[in-house]
Amino acid sequence: MELTTSQFVIGYYTFLLGVSCFGAYTNKRQVFMLAFSLTLVSFVLGIVGGAAALKAIAICAGMLAIAGMISFGFREFLIQIAEGDFGAGIRNSGSSSVVTLILVAACIVSGVMGWGFTEILIAITILFVVITSLNPETAKELRTAPLTAAFGMFVIFTYAVAGIFAPWIAPFGEAEVISSAFAPPDENMLLGADQLGRDMFSRIVYGSRNSVGLAITATVAAFILGAGAGLLAATKGGWFDQFMGRFADVIMSIPSLIFALLMLSIFGPTTPVIICAVAIIYAPRVFRLTRAVAGNVVVMDYIEAAKLRGEGMWYLIRREILPNSTAPLVAEFGLEFCFVFLLVAGLSFLGLGIQPPTADWGSMVRENATLISFGDITPLIPAAAIALLTVAVNFVVDWMLFRSSGLKEQ
Amino acid sequence: MGDIAGLVGKRLGLGLIILLVISVIIFFMVELLPGDIAQAVLGQGATEENLAALRKEMGLDQPAIVRYLGWLKDAVVFDFGSSVVTQEPVTSIIGERFAKTLFLAAYAAVIAVPVSIVLGVLVALMRNSIFDRVANVLTLTSISSPEFFLGYILILYFAVKWGMFPAIASLSEGMSFVELLNRAFLPALTLVLVVVAHMMRMTRASIINLLASPYIEMARLKGAPPLKVIVRHALPNAWAPIINVVALNLAYLITGVVLVEVVFVYPGIGQALVDAVSKRDFPVVQACCLIFAATFILLNLAADVGAILTNPRLRHPK
């Protein structure tokens, strides 16, 4: 059934007014304010932009509603799994950290040796870690999670699936030329072809593996460097602490993109150089936070007790300091990942990231930018993918920070 | 007043030392180059004589420390040597571009600073309402988007679909000021979007932080109207964090400008830096990096000094 324009407009206003009356009647102040202010805005926009503007609003609201429903569903799903407590057996036997280490090692070995099943191993590892960390305790916390955080988790889940199983999801290879340059979408190609006639959709799927993978590797490198130095500085103190602090000050006073450009111009834009450059640029930030968090833990009495027991520094860091500073460090990891991801995307947009023909979101935007002047939005999809993942991670981090800080604004 | 001058002088000295260390890093990083600059410029196929001639011309036969001191002495008076690709003096390449970049950054700042402070205060007043949440999600989205994403969206709508502003910011001599503003509008707007989001969030956080303090509670309890609580009681103490926020974001503007300039083909120093990096034109790269770092440090310094001037408590460190 096709809606005529007048039917749509009448239905639109009826719906909004109905919702605002319902809100006012049941004393739901927020619902009323939202619905009625939307009605007033729609009056203005409807007069200026006609029915098309109203349709745009309706589509936006519909998309928001769908996103909300998916987030709600995903949160309930996670809560159900957490309450089922499938990981209890493994956790209670105390072997979960050993199994995780073995799985990670297997992933790395398999990746280096090029056996064909690295993807499946990585998926199993992630699944294992998630299942063991979901318990009735987390179920309670998940219940209080805002929908934005659930949405963030859902998006991260989707990206993980796309990245890990890219070769199965993508219909074509990432460097496979299958049609003419800038061919429009047809039944074979969902989003059309890029500047060399490669399938855009396949490249976006592969990009989730390459771009996100590079950003995660670089963040992990920055974390190992920064958190290691921070923990050492906090436990050792003295001149080492002073020196590292000043050194971090200097590095942080060079703008990150500029420093990255300087290093890439000297050593050339190869993947190891990008990872090292990002690690050097972002390690000082991690160092600062770790130093501050660990500095608060170091002055505790139980550290003093452990020192008096004669425990070594490595034991202090591993068994006393680290477990007591995980929550802020995990949140910091998310935040740093966002910064690193945006920096790497910026670099690859400038042509200094992962080199072609490997699919990479930043460079895909640049290569297809000419299409934008014809009013085509396809080149913006990789950029939107970058933005969506960063937003999602930020949502989750916001929630985690709120939870770990325990402070409620008045 | 003597103690203020002393504090500010100390900060200035610290900034100068950091700048010196950065100049060392920037200069000696190029020394880490496999081979040397002459090899990198001429490529693998260069003959021994050509290499020797270029080395002589660039003074590479002298020890690094001598060259560094010479480079630093010239850099202080803005003489960065000449480009290895075009042989032009670096100052003539980047001098005019730097002015254009400053124009773009100032343009963005003039729009962004008042808007974000007003919006930040408003959102802080309406905290936890539905508008606050919408603003939170919107600003977060804007911060999380790469600059080129925002830039291309603006091009798509304002330039291609609605044809209101030019997509390519080509500036030329003899343009009227209004024309300049029109040409640079989209790049400036992109920067504004990013910076407003940052500034709004930081202003909101610092105002909310302030509103939780006991003397605000007192003012409220004695029956002062909300606007008066903000203007008379909260704002005088909020200046320090707000100045800090503004200076930090202006520093951010300076680097964000690189990507925006590339998107809009704006003839600024960021574009020059990116070109020089891909051509491996090291004197230009070094000069641009030094200028960016110096601006960055200067603005951070301004934030510190502003905080000291507006907050008397900082003048008496414990």
Contact partners, residue A275, CB within 8 Å, separation at least 6: A214, A217, A218, A221
Of residues A74 and A406, more confidently modeled: A74
If one counts every other C-beta atom within 10 angstroms of the C-beta of residue A164, the result is 20
Encode A131-154: b = buried (16+ Cβ within 10 Å), e = exposed.
Answer: bbebbeebbeebeebebbbbbbbb
Nearest to B22 among A254, A266, A383 (CB): A254
- Rg for chain B (alpha carbons), in Å? 24
pLDDT tens-place string over residues A161-185: 888 888 888 888 777 777 777 777 7
Residues 148-187 of A with CB under 8 A from B: 148
Q: Which chain A residues are within 8 Å of B273, Cβ to Cβ?
A: 258, 261
**Cα dihedral sign, B157-B159-B161-B162:** positive
Name the residue among B30, B152, B153 with its Cβ closest to that of A369: B152
Residue B212 contacts A where some CB pair is shorter than 8 Å: yes
CB contact under 8 A, B18 and A352: no
Quote the minimal CA–CA distance from B213 to chain A in Å: 11
pLDDT for residue B43: 67
Tell me: pLDDT of A309 over 80.
yes
* B149/chain A closest Cα distance in angstroms: 5
CA–CA gap between residue B302 and residue B247 (Å, rounded): 7
B34 → chain A, closest CA residue: A267
Q: Do B26 and A383 touch (CB under 8 A)?
A: no
pLDDT bracket for residue A116 (50, 70, 90)? confident
A74-85 as b/e: b if 16+ CB within 10 A:
bbeebbebbeeb
Is residue A141 within 8 A of residue A82, CB to CB? The reply is no
User: Which of B123, B148, B204, B254 to probe by mutation at the A interface, max A CB count within 10 Å?
Assistant: B148
A387 in contact with chain B, both atoms CB, cutoff 8 A: yes
**With an 8 Å Cβ cutoff, are B152 and A148 in contact?**
no
Which pLDDT band, with edges at 50, 70 and 90, does A159 fall under? very high
Q: Is A379's CB within 8 Å of B140's CB?
A: no
CA distance A359 to chain B (A): 18
Contact A181, A195 (CB under 8 A): yes
CB nearest A373 (choices: B25, B129, B160): B160
Query: Which residues face A198 on adjacent strands?
Result: A177
Q: Over the stretch A125-140, which tens digit does the pLDDT of each residue have?
A: 888 888 887 777 788 8
Q: For residue B254, how many C-alpha atoms fall within 13 Å in the half-sphere facing its CB? A: 27
| Binary contact (B149, A253; C-beta < 8 A) | no
CB contact under 8 A, A372 and B33: no
Nearest-CA residue of chain A relative to B130?
A: A30
- Residue B240 at interface with chain A, using a CB cutoff of 8 Å: no
Residue A408 clears pLDDT 50, i.e. is over it: no
How many CB pairs (< 8 A) connect A and B?
Answer: 140
Q: CB contact, 8 Å: B4 with chain A?
A: no
Prediction ipTM score: 0.85
User: Which chain A residues in 13-32 lie under 8 Å from chain B, judged by CB atoms?
Assistant: 30
Which residues in chain A are contacts of B32 at CB distance < 8 A? 266-267
Report the pLDDT value the prediction gives residue B40, as an integer from 0 to 100: 66
Judge whether residue A45 has pLDDT over 60.
yes
Measured at the CA of A279, the angle between CA A273 and CA A282, to 5 degrees, comes to: 135
Q: How far apart are CA A340 and CA A362, in angstroms?
A: 13
Spatial separation of the C-alpha atoms in residues A43 and B249, rounded to whole Å: 37
User: What tokens appear for A181 in the block?
Assistant: 């340059």
Q: Which of A254, A259, A349 lies at the smallest CB-CB distance from B259?
A: A349
* A33: chain B residues, CB-CB within 8 Å: 129-130
* Nearest C-alpha neighbor of B144 from the set B200, B203, B202, B194: B194
Q: Is A253 on the interface with B (CB under 8 A)?
A: yes
Q: Does A369 touch chain B (CB under 8 A)?
A: yes
Closest-CA residue in chain A for B293? A254
Q: What are A51's two structure tokens?
A: 């029915």
Q: What is the mean pLDDT of residues A33-41?
A: 85
- What are the φ and ψ backbone dihedral angles of A357, each rounded to 5 degrees? -90, 5
Point out the residue among B128, B141, B152 whose CB comes nearest to the CB of A383.
B152
Between CA B170 and CA B264 the distance in angstroms is 8
Counting Cβ atoms within 10 Å, is residue A349 exposed (0-12), middle (13-18) or buried (19+)?
Answer: buried
How many residues make up chain A in this entry?
410
For residue B89, give the 3-state DSSP assignment. strand
**Phi and psi (nearest 5°) for B196?**
-60, -40
What structural domains and CATH numbers belong to chain B? Answer: 2-76 (no CATH), 90-315 (1.10.3720.10)
Percent of chain A with pLDDT over 90: 15
- Chain A neighbors of B155, CB-CB under 8 A: 372-373
* The predicted structure's pLDDT at residue A393: 92
Q: Does the pLDDT at position A392 exceed 90?
A: yes
Q: What chain A residue is nearest to B30 in terms of C-alpha separation?
A: A266
List Cβ neighbours of A57 (8 Å cut-off, separation of 6 or more): A38, A41, A42, A45
Q: How far is A304 from chain B (nearest CA, A)?
A: 27
Contact list in B for residue A362 (CB cut-off 8 A) is 146, 148
Please work out, in degrees rounded to the nearest 5, the angle formed at the alpha carbon of residue A99 by the alpha carbons of A119 and A324.
110
- Per-residue confidence of chain B (318 residues) as pLDDT tens digits? 557 788 788 888 888 888 888 888 888 887 776 666 666 666 666 677 777 777 777 666 677 787 888 888 877 777 777 777 777 788 887 888 888 888 888 889 899 989 988 888 888 888 777 788 888 888 888 888 888 898 888 888 888 888 777 777 777 777 777 877 878 888 899 999 988 888 888 888 888 888 888 888 898 899 888 778 877 888 778 777 788 888 888 877 877 888 898 888 888 888 888 888 888 788 888 888 888 888 888 888 888 888 777 777 666 655
pLDDT of A222 over the 90 cut = yes
Q: What is the pLDDT of residue B34?
A: 65
Chain A within 8 Å of B155 (Cβ-Cβ)?
A: yes
- Those of residues 69-128 in B touching chain A at CB distance below 8 A are 127-128
- Shortest CB distance from B296 goes to which of A33, A253, A375? A253
Residues of A in contact with B140 (CB under 8 A): 391, 394-395, 398
Chain A residues within 8 A of B280 when measuring between CB atoms: 265
**A124 touching B, CB under 8 A?**
no
C-alpha A93/C-alpha A101 separation (Å) is 15
Collapsing DSSP to helix, strand or coil, A300 comes out as coil
Q: Which residue among B18, B152, B255 sits closest to A372, beta carbon to beta carbon?
A: B152
Q: Which domains does chain A have, with CATH numbers?
A: 5-84 (no CATH), 178-405 (1.10.3720.10)
Contact A387 B22 (CB under 8 A): no
